[in-house]
Structure 1
Amino acid sequence: MNFLLNTLSQRANKKPQETAIVSGKTTLNNQALFNAVTELADQLKPFQFQCIALYMDNSINWVFADLAAMSLGITLIPIPLFFSKGQIQHLIKDAGIEAILCQEFDSEIFAIQERLTLSHAQLVILKNDTKLDSGQLKQVAKITYTSGSTGQPKGVCLSLENIKNVSLALAKTIKDHGIKRHLCIMPLATLLENIAGIYVPLMMENSIQIEPLSELGFEQSSQFNPEKFAQAIECYQPDSLILLPQLLKSVIQLKQTTPSFFNSLKFAAVGGGKSAQSALEKAHELGMPIYEGYGLSECAATVSLNTPDNNKVGSVGKVLPHTQVRIDESGEIIVSGQAMLGYLHQDDLNQGQKNNEVHTGDLGYIDDDGYLYISGRRKNLLVSSFGRNIAPEWIESELIHSNNIKQVAVFGDAKPWLNAIITADLSTSNDQITLTLNEINQSLPDYAQVKSWIRSDEAFSTQNQLLTDNGRIRRDAIFSHYKARLDALY
């Protein structure tokens, strides 16, 4: 029995009536959760699947499917709902997916051989001529597809040991902070929410609140309704949740207008991109327990984390006990001790990473107290025509924290000054944006100031391929789209 099924069994035996998961009007106790997972596993077992996918909105059934597949040793691939038709078809073929567990299915996306109704999901068996050799997925418990900054998504292969170690490390790190109820506000298909929002609370004997993302104010992959989000927080009163950096500005504004907002929160982790230090300082000034962390899919989602006991605003916290970090001579962050098995189709997939190391591509340093700091992406580093090295993420994080700028991409490699592509609300005038830029520039050194800018034609999104699945901007795509106008600025 794997570690999570053992956890479910122990919870069911020790406290069968204790609440495990709540969704809408449904409350599931420990015994009911264990029964539902084993029931679905029993229904899946006769098919002897090697690799299946999970394609659902956040729900209790998502958790049943995830845990049932894990209990049978089936390689599971969660598919984000915001993946495009082309991306989904690519990964079905790429991974040789045999079937999909879903609530609804789209015949335009899936080539269906057979559809069956199971106890907690629809099982769609696919017509798929591509099937991977059984030995290739021998140790792979989960494949998480990361859309990256360019090209087709790549499959990051994680073992059960990877998942177990990071889950145990997170549980140990946050166990003394009074957390009893976690609210999932990121897609469960996102590895960070899957591990930190499902596995860790289950291991800590906490309860989990799961609602469809639209009920929480996430109406599309890049559309957010702060009023609806505030209502959800007030209704569910969570102790913990996970935020993306682009939500940080909104929750701070909500706290400023409604002082009781977030009062139930004991711990909110923010990760998935660079957060403005000024925003984190403001959050703490308002008494909001928001702590920045760092990780990547290749390291099973989490590498370091600030906590109430150990926190330095501006850092991404201390490295978790299950892993090690070093900084190489170029300033790149190298993670070891908890690397992925590899990328799907890698020749030595089941041998793990060479030297068990992941070259993150991120630049950073570790201070004397052991806190890790992220400077930016190595490949994104801009070198001005005056020879200054500039990490655009640093400037972007400060700009996004302002009220008038929603999204921004900073450019200026080999140029005398920096420029930016800026997304703003329709109600925000160009003069307001210019005024905001001038104010922020005063806090930046002259070489890092944005001297010219262009208003974007539309918001960066996954639909127009200008945003990755986890909310990061696609720099190359944005630069290509606006290149002529950017060149005209000089």
Structure 2
Amino acid sequence: MNFLINTLSERANKAPQKVAIMSGENTFNNQALFDAVTELADQLKPFQFQCIALYMDNSINWVIADLAAMSLGISLIPIPLFFSKGQIQHLIKDAGIEAVLCQKFDSKIFTIQETLTLSHAQLVILNNLTKPNTEQLQQVAKITYTSGSTGQPKGVCLSLENIENVSLALAKTIENHGIKHHLCIMPLATLLENIAGIYVPLIMGNSIQIEPLSDLGFEQSSQFNPKKFAQAVERYQPDSLILLPQLLKSVIQLKQTTPNLFRSLKFAAVGGGKSAQSALEEALKLGMPIYEGYGLSECAATVSLNTPKSNKPGSVGRVLPHTQVRIDETGEIIVSGQAMLGYLHQDDLSQGQKNNEIHTGDLGYIDEDGYLYISGRRKNLLVSSFGRNIAPEWIESELIHSNHIKQVAVFGDAKPWLNAIITADSTTPDEAITFALTAINQGLPDYAQVKSWIRSDEAFSTQNQLLTDNGRIRRDAILSQYQGQLDALY
């Protein structure tokens, strides 16, 4: 029995009536959650699956299915709902997925052999010509498919040891901060929310609030209703949240207009991309407990984190105790001690973690107090025609803090100045964007100022393949779409 199932069993024995998970009118105490996981696991066991997928909206049933598969040692693949049909069919074939646990099946996506109704899930057995690599998957507990910035999604293979190490390290790092109730606002198929929003609260004995994402204001992958989100926060009074940088901007705006909002909040971690230091400082001025962290799927989601006791805005915190970080001679961040097993089909997964290092592709440094800083992506580094090295993420994190700019992508490699592609609300005039750019440029060195810009034809989203699954922009795709207009700026 693995560490999470052991934890569930212990909670059920010691505090059976304590609330574990809530959703709408439904509440599962520790005993009910353990019983539900055990019941579904018993129903899945006779099939002897090696590799199955989980395709559901955020719900208690998502958690039950996830833990049931883990208890049986099945390699589980959470499928983000925002993946395209092509991406889903790719990973089904790539991993040899045998079945899917879902709320309702979609015959347009899945080639179905049989559908069965189990406790808390529909089981769709697939007619998949590709079979799982049983030998390769022996140590794999979870495969998280990351769409990355280019190409087809690739499977990051994690062991139970990966998941246990990071979960325990996070639980230790955020203890004693009064966190008792967590609200999941990111898709549970996102590894960060899966681990930090489900496993960590379960370990700590905290309660979890899980609602369909549309009930929280996330109406589509690129559409957000701040009023609906504010109402949900007021209703559920969470102690903790996990935010993406773009959502941080909305949270700050909500706090500015409604000072009494987020009163229950004791800890909010922001990750998944670079946050503007000015935004983090503004959040602190407003009394919001928002702390930036850093991680990647290849290291089981989290590497470093600021906390109320150890916080430097602008940094991504101190490295968690379960892992190690060094900076190589090129400035790249290298992580060891918490490496994934490897990529599915690309690595020998039987070797385990050992002393493998993850070359993150991120540039950064560690200061004299041990805080890690992220400068940008090595492959994204721009070199102006005057020879200045510029990390576009730095500029973008400052621009995105403007109320007039929703999304931005900065370019200018081998050019005399930087330009930007900007998405904004239809009600925002060009003059307001230009005024915002002028104000932000005053705080940037001359070589890093955005001197020209164009307005995007549409918002960057996962549907149009201009965003990755964790909200990062796809630079190559955006550049390809707007190349002609960008060239005309010079």
* TMscore range, shorter length: over 0.9
* More off after superposition, 304-313 vs 125-134: 125-134
Contact 2:240 2:267 in 1 (8 A): yes
Deviation at 1:455, TM superposition (A): 0.5
- Runs ≥4 residues deviating over 4 A: none
CA contact (8 A) 2:96 2:133 kept: no
Instruction: Give the 3 Å change call, closer, same or farther, for CA 173–347 of structure 1 in structure 2.
Output: closer
Aligned to 1:412: 412
Cα displacement (A) at 1:349: 1.9
2:273 corresponds to = 273
Query: Is the Cα–Cα contact under 8 Å of residues 410 and 421 in structure 2 kept in the other structure?
Result: yes
Q: Which amino acid aligns with 1:249?
A: K
Match of 1:377 in 2: 377
Distance 1:265 1:76 in 2: 32
Pair 1:287 & 2:287 matched? yes
Which residue in 2 is equivalent to 1:205? 205
Aligned to 1:441: 441
Q: Secondary structure at the match of 2:136?
A: helix
Shift of 1:281: 0.2
Counterpart Cα distance in 2 of 1:455 and 1:133: 47
Q: Paired residue for 1:48?
A: 48
**TM-score normalised by length of structure 1:** 0.99
Matched, 1:33 2:33: yes
Deviation of 1:355 after TM superposition, in Å, equals 3.9
> Could you say which residue in structure 2 is the equivalent of 1:314?
314
Give the whole-Å Cα distance in 2 for the aligned partners of 1:206 and 1:354.
Answer: 32
Identity %: 87
Following superposition, the deviation at residue 197 of structure 1 comes to: 0.3
Secondary structure (helix, strand or coil) at the match of 1:92 reads: helix
2:233 is aligned with 1:233: yes
In 2, distance between residues paired with 1:372 and 1:466?
29
Q: Quote the Cα distance in structure 1 between the aligned partners of 2:354 and 2:84.
A: 33
Check conservation: 2:112, 2:127, Cα contact below 8 A.
Answer: yes
* 1-structure distance, mates of 2:407, 2:215: 24
Taking the TM superposition and a 5 Å limit, the aligned residue runs for 1:132-171 are: 132-171=132-171
Residue 264 of structure 2 corresponds to 264
Q: Which residue of 2 aligns with 1:480?
A: 480
Aligned partner of 1:103 in structure 2 is 103
Distance (Å, rounded) in 2 between the aligned partners of 1:430 and 1:32 = 55
Distance 1:29 1:158 in 2: 29
What is the deviation of 1:86?
0.2
Q: Give 2:89's aligned residue.
A: 89
Q: SS where residue 310 of structure 2 aligns?
A: coil
| Deviation digits for residues 166-197 of structure 1 (CA, Å, limit 9, x no counterpart) | 00000000011010000000000000000000
State the alpha-carbon separation in 1 of the partners of residues 70 and 376 from structure 2: 35
What's the secondary structure of 2:453's corresponding residue?
Answer: strand
- The whole-number CA distance in structure 2 between the counterparts of 1:355 and 1:489 is 48
Q: Distance in 1 between matches of 2:443 and 2:171?
A: 38
Aligned to 1:454: 454
CA–CA distance in 2 between the matches of 1:338 and 1:227?
A: 39
Report SS of the residue matched to 2:141. Answer: strand
* Long gaps (5+) in structure 1: none
Find the counterpart in structure 1 of residue 124 from structure 2: 124
Question: Where do 1:295-444 residues align within 5 Å?
Answer: 295-352=295-352, 355-444=355-444
- CA-CA distance at 1:353 after TM superposition: 5.9
Name 1:2's counterpart in structure 2: 2
CA distance in 1, matches of 2:139, 2:379: 31
Paired residues of 2:338 and 2:353 also in contact (CA < 8 A): no
What is the RMSD of the two structures over their aligned residues, measured on CA atoms? 0.7
Shift of 1:339: 0.2
| 3-state SS of paired residue (2:374) | strand
- Amino acid in structure 2 at the alignment position of 1:198: I
- One-letter amino acid matched to 2:320: L
Corresponding pairs, count: 490
TM-score (ref. length: structure 2): 0.99
Aligned to 1:14: 14
* Alpha-carbon separation, structure 2, partners of 1:487 and 1:172: 51
CA–CA separation in structure 1 for the residues paired with 2:102 and 2:27: 21
